[in-house]
Amino acid sequence: MTVSELSRGEVIDLLTRHRGARIPSDASVGAWQHALTGYTAAECHAALLRLGPNARHATPAEITNSVDAARDRAVDTDSETATAAEDETDGESEDEAATGDQQRRREAREPGKGQPPLYAPVRLDQTARAAQRECYRQAGLRGRRAVYAAMGWDRDPDADPAASRSVPCPFCKAKTWVACSPLTRNTGGVRDTRDPATGSHAARLARVKAKAALAQRRHDNDTPEGTR
């Protein structure tokens, strides 16, 4: 799968325009560039605009989460539109359907008509879309660690609330991207504590770290020597 990457100029434009930063260092630009792998400059600009005043302190995770949510809304809208179009077609009479077939055959005979658009959008099924999102998410997790290291932030990048919810909680049964409940003891009598920084149970954080470690090993195995 080919993953797009912002150019250094686009990253500098993002940081200076929305975050009010001075010209960042090469290390910072490279870290942000890696963190936003798989996202276009237009999507990142739109995400920062949606954040409003909070854009000045936005992290890569907040930008990528906003873009992912916008992509999901777009796909849902396309699905609803396609379903409505199918319902209208099913409601046509046989005469109307025949007229439509004649019209399509007539357009196909005329030059320049009946041809697919030059830049037809690619429609992914649910499995491919989930795999694509997971690829982008893992790239974002690796990039966020690089950004935190380059910026010299003391906060643990893996303690990001959004990242801690990237898997379901085995303790309180919270679904993916849903915050953990205040539960400290489940029906089986098992106790667990919630991390004060993320609000997630320790069992959930352990699962997040295990999944991130597995993804990192796979990434290292797929990366040729000398390019890491």
pLDDT value, residue 106 = 62
The pLDDT tens digits along the chain (228 residues) read 455 678 888 888 888 887 776 777 888 888 888 888 888 888 888 888 888 888 788 888 888 888 888 888 877 676 666 555 555 555 555 555 556 666 666 655 554 554 544 444 556 677 777 777 777 777 777 787 788 788 887 776 666 666 778 889 999 999 988 889 988 888 888 899 888 878 889 999 899 888 878 877 877 777 666 555
d(CA 228, CA 225) in angstroms, rounded, equals 7
Predicted TM-score (pTM) of the model is 0.37
Amino acid at 98: A
pLDDT value, residue 119 = 46
Delimit the domains of the chain by residue range. 1-88+121-154, 157-228
Question: Are residues 100 and 92 in contact, defined by beta-carbon separation less than 8 angstroms?
Answer: yes
- Where would I find the H helices in 39-110? 41-51, 60-90, 94-109
- Where would I find the H helices in 91-187? 94-109, 126-151, 161-164
Closest alpha carbon to 216 in 132, 146, 150: 146
Closest alpha carbon to 59 in 173, 168, 151, 171: 151
